[in-house]
Amino acid sequence: MTQVGEPRTEAGAALERVPHWIGGARVAGRSGRFGPVYDPAVGAIARTVDFASVEEVDAVVASAAAAFPAWRATSLSKRTEILFRIRNLVEAHRTEIAAHLTAEHGKVTSDALGEIARGLENLEFACGIPTLMKGGFSEQASTGVDVYQIRQPLGVVAGITPFNFPAMVPIWMFGNALACGNTFILKPSEKDPSAALLMAELLAEAGVPAGVFNVVQGDRVAVDRLLEHPAIAAVSFVGSTPIARHIYETATRNGKRVQALGGAKNHMLVLPDADIDMAADAAVSAGYGSAGERCMAIATIVAVGDVADPLIEAIRARVPRVTVGPGTDPASQMGPLVTRQHMEKVASYLESAPRQGATLVADGREHPLHRAGVGFFLGASLIDHVDAGMDCYRDEIFGPVLTVIRVRTYEEGVRLINANPYGNGAAIFTRDGGAGRRFQFEVNAGMVGINVPIPVPVAYYSFGGWKASLFGDLHMYGPEGIQFYTRAKVVTSRWPDPGTSSVDLGFPRTR
């Protein structure tokens, strides 16, 4: 939602504005356009965020381009030293960053701290940049000739991030991008923009020179300018599939390197031999954690054979014990959804699913906080007897709703998962090692869990889905992140003695 004019509270007082970060300082927007930032636990606008104009984006890009030559020439050891300092400052300020996440996203404090912990792992990986950027050397590739490969940064790179991980996903990108010697422009989600600004301040304190890391706040206007700006070399994106497709198509058409991670519909296949309690605990944790607003959340349980009844009963019994409340309350396990509009969309599937023939086992609309209408709360929900044609299966709900599809066999379950257009994560729960190994071989998903419901790779592997969950060739962070943010240069070199050369117009025939 874009607004123009002066942001004010309902009582008329001026609202706090979240500005840009350009050239190493906070810069107030001048476009006159801004958007609301809600406190999802109370359901009111808490502040506003400036929306950049094309001219403001151009100013950010100019700042990042001007900073690039000096940053790429900064020694690996100096960049490493700065990265260590960033890592330590993020850790030292994790409670403050987490408070922003809870205030604007709504996630509970323990979950926000977990998000930062995973971000720290990515920064720790980036601290190994001297090793990660090592090239290769072939001595005497031909007589007296050496060939070697070096990796160099791309230039100015942009990251466009979603609302659900306002700290971790930017870190996935900027840790490696800066380590490799690029300058970086972050366009955070307009729903929860404050954590990005705090991180910008920490980066400056760590010694990142002005212009090397920038934050441009905004909406489609800012994004589309980044996608077409000739000085942007590469774009990393994480968000929903329709926007990921738009980013990929537009930025590649403009000659940029792109990795665009999209939405998901993650399945958990439960075989009859699975430990019911373990599977139910995993389904509840992975389905309702962060109110289901995780790209790796379990959305659909695929129950094989006679495991369905006891498994659904075990999940149903756990649902009332999921404590829903404000993210700041240490007793809360699940906070509100990010906006009223999103909450209403999620709740609409609880309406449509029974109409389409499913069974609503637990209805989150009955939760007292949802009924009270204060904040964007919705209780944990469970829908059984879902089939592949129903809206609650076809769409990415991105809320605290677990759907269950019953199948007769393992083969039927894998066919269902592989036919789904998304391919982010997929998990199997079984006590049978052979079945687990077969699943890892057969399933069409980028990240696979065996008795692990949310198989987010550790920072020294890379993160990415298949099918409509990723557009582009390289996964994010880890070794593929380094590959994404650098390009190879191969040097062929010889130092012959003077007087030993002759003219030869042919291709070399001798070795």
Catalytic residues: 295
Site string for ligand NAD, 49-88 (x = CB under 6 A): ----------------------------------------
How far apart are CB 410 and ligand NAD at their closest, in Å? 26
Complex with ligand NAD: residue 290 or 430, whichever CB lies closer: 290
48 three-class SS:
strand
Reference 154, options 125, 131, 127, 181; nearest CA is 181
Instruction: Check: CB of residue 183 under 8 Å from CB of residue 64.
Output: yes
Site for ligand NAD in 416-455 (CB under 6 A): 424
Q: Assess 239 for contact with ligand NAD (CB under 6 A).
A: yes
Closer to ligand NAD by CB, 185 or 243: give it. Answer: 243
CA atoms of 339 and 95, how far apart (whole Å): 23
Long-range contacts of 196-204, Cβ-Cβ distance < 8 Å, separation of 24 or more: 196/21, 196/166, 196/170, 197/18, 197/19, 197/21, 197/26, 198/93, 198/96, 198/97, 198/100, 199/90, 199/97, 199/167, 199/170, 199/171, 200/21, 201/21, 202/86, 202/89, 202/90, 202/93, 203/86, 204/24
Q: Two tokens at 437?
A: 């190994």
What is the smallest separation between the CB atom of 242 and ligand NAD, expressed in angstroms?
7
Count of residues binding ligand NAD (CB under 6 A)? 27
For residue 237 the two structure tokens come to 């994106």
Least distance between ligand NAD and beta carbon 467 (Å)? 11
Contact positions with ligand NAD (CB under 6 A) in 241-260: 243, 246
CA distance linking residue 224 with residue 365, whole number of Å: 37
Q: Which is nearer to ligand NAD, 22 or 360 (CB)?
A: 22
Q: How far apart are CA 220 and CA 466, in angstroms?
A: 26
Cβ-closest residue to ligand NAD? 239
* Residues in 315-334 that interact with ligand NAD by CB under 6 A: none
Question: Which H or E element spans position 203?
Answer: helix 194-206
Closer Cβ to ligand NAD, 141 or 221, answer by number:
221
Cα angle 130, 133, 134 (rounded to 5 degrees) comes to 85
- If one asks whether residue 261 binds ligand NAD (CB under 6 A), the answer comes out as yes
Q: Which strand ranges, in their side-by-side order, compose the sheet holding 44-50?
A: 3-4, 33-39, 44-50, 17-18
Q: Checking DSSP bridges between strand 425-429 and strand 266-270, what pairing results, if any?
A: parallel
Nearest distance, CB of residue 244 and ligand NAD, angstroms: 7
Euclidean distance between CA atoms 376 and 1, whole angstroms: 17
Nearer Cβ to ligand NAD, position 162 or 481? 162
SS3 content of the chain, % helix, strand, coil (to 5): 40, 25, 35
Give 351 or 395: the residue with its C-beta nearer to ligand NAD.
395
Find how far residue 283's CA is from the centre of its chain.
21
Stretch that binds ligand NAD, among 4-12, 45-53, 183-191, 325-333 (CB under 6 A): 183-191
- Compose the 139-178 pattern: x for residues touching ligand NAD by CB under 6 A, - for all others: ---------------------xxxxxx-------------
Closest contact distance (angstroms) between CB of 498 and ligand NAD is 57
Q: Which of residues 189-208 bind ligand NAD (CB under 6 A)?
A: 189-190
Q: Which is nearer to ligand NAD, 379 or 465 (CB)?
A: 465
Residue with tokens 């809360």: 332
Instruction: Identify whether the C-beta of residue 299 lies closer than 8 Å to the C-beta of residue 421.
Output: no
Identified binder of ligand NAD from the candidate list 81, 121, 124, 219, rule CB under 6 A: 219
Which one of residues 112, 396, 405, 443 is an interface residue with ligand NAD (CB under 6 A)?
Answer: 396
* Residue number, 308 or 392, with CB nearest to ligand NAD: 392
For residues 426 and 441, give the distance between their C-alpha atoms in angstroms, rounded to a whole number. 12
478 binds ligand NAD (CB under 6 A): no
* Residue whose CB is less far from ligand NAD, 68 or 398: 398
494-500, Cβ contacts within 8 angstroms, sequence gap of 24 or more: 494/144, 494/145, 494/146, 495/144, 496/144
Contacts to ligand NAD from residues 398-417, by CB under 6 A: 398
470: Cβ–Cβ under 8 A, 6 or more apart, which residues?
244, 259, 260, 261, 262, 424, 446, 464
**What minimum distance in Å lies between the beta carbon of 69 and ligand NAD?**
29
For residues 438 and 420, what is the distance between their CA atoms, to the nearest angstrom? Answer: 19
Residue 223 binding ligand NAD, by CB under 6 A? yes
| From candidates 86, 98, 238, 274, binder to ligand NAD by CB under 6 A | 238
Q: How far is the CB of 470 from ligand NAD (least distance, A)?
A: 7
Nearer to ligand NAD (CB atom), residue 49 or residue 369: 49
At its nearest, how many Å lie between ligand NAD and the CB of residue 457?
11
Interface with ligand NAD, residue 240, by CB under 6 A: yes
Measured N-to-C along each axis, helices 433-442 and 410-419 cross at an angle, to the nearest 10 degrees, of: 30
Examine residue 214 and tell whether it contacts ligand NAD (CB under 6 A).
Answer: no
Query: With CB under 6 A as the contact rule, which of the stretches 237-245, 344-352, 376-384, 410-418 interacts with ligand NAD?
Result: 237-245
Report the nearest approach of ligand NAD to the CB of residue 425 (Å). 9
| Main-chain phi, psi angles of 4, to 5 degrees | -130, 160
| Cβ pair 363, 381 in contact under 8 A | yes
Q: Can you give the binding site for ligand NAD, defined by CB under 6 A?
A: 160-165, 187, 189-190, 219-220, 223, 238-240, 243, 246, 261-264, 295, 396, 398, 424, 465, 469
